[in-house]
Every structure is written in structure tokens, then in C-alpha cells.
Structure 1
Amino acid sequence: MDISGIISALVVGVVIGALGRLVLPGRQRVGLLWTVVVGIVAAFVGTGIASGLGVADTRGFDWIELIIQVALAAVGVGALERARAGRRVQR
């Protein structure tokens, strides 16, 4: 992967992660780094799911793929928040 691919993955991760956090109600105590990581993973997995469904390579903007990616990011951020909250209670 070249430098432009890494930079574009980071930008997509930030955008998808931020949109995933916006979808969730309330405040999430997840840092920026974890938001980017969840966003990148959600972008890759969402693209795979969209490809499997046959909606990844459509003409124009791929709204369905974006919705899948944001939903996965919201689930990921929510799961990370619950895992961190459970760890704080056990201490």
C-alpha cells in the first residue's frame, strides 16, 4: 500500500468513525484513535458486505455502502464503549 492509500484509509476511517459516533445517542467516551480504528475496520468490512450484496459498484455515490459502513461503525463504537465501561466497573 502506498502513502496515498494509507492517507485515504485514515480519512475514510475518520469520516466513517465520526458518522458512527453521531448516530449513537448520548456521549461516547472513546478516544479519537479508537474512533479512527473502528471507522477503518467498519469501512473495510462494510465494503466487503456491500460487495457480497452486489451494491458496492453502482453508478454515482454508493449510499447503501455508506449506510452499511456507518451502521457497522456505530455498532463498533457502542461495543467498545460497553467493553470499556465494564472494565471501569470491575476495577
Structure 2
Amino acid sequence: MDEEYVEAVLDVVEQIPAGRVMTYGDIAEVVGRVLERGGPRQVGTALRDAGGAVPWWRVVNAQGLPPVHKRQTALDRLRAEGTTITAAGRVAPGCRWRSGE
């Protein structure tokens, strides 16, 4: 994965406000407008490889679920920020954020 794409993903993730989330697809759409490449899987790869310094827990899949391998940590951090979590462990739809809001 090229550094330009990774940096673009990390820049978007850093902008997500506390208490809000974006999906991998939302991020891919924002980055794709500028770089004209990538998709949700590439966003996940970028976060896996270089996302430790950004609020990675604010990125969820299309169903509103955090990454499986770090789900409990992500849910704990999201709850601490005041994000609404459903009984099924999903982020409530009203917590989604779009870049530029």
C-alpha cells in the first residue's frame, strides 16, 4: 500500500469527532474523491498497518460494528466518548459522521 493512500486515510480518521463514527466505505469514498482509487478493504489495511496513532475505534463496518479482533476495546472507547451503542453492540445509526459536516 502506498504512503500517499495511507496518509489520506489517516487524515480522514483524525477528523472524526469523539462520539461519532465513519464506515470503511465512507472513508474510502472521501479518499477516492481525491486520489481516485481504493475501497473499504484498502482503508482497513491502512488502519491495520499504520492506524495506531489515530482514533481507529471510530471506524466501523457497514453494519455499525467495530473490527472483530479489537471489538471490546473499540466499544469501551466509543462508550467512554458518549457514542450510542445498541444492545447488539452496534453503533447507533445517528452516530455516523460524514467528512465535511
* TM-score of the aligned structures, taking structure 2 as reference length: 0.30
Q: Which has the higher helix share?
A: 1
Say which one has the larger Rg: 1
* TM-score of the aligned structures, taking structure 1 as reference length: 0.32
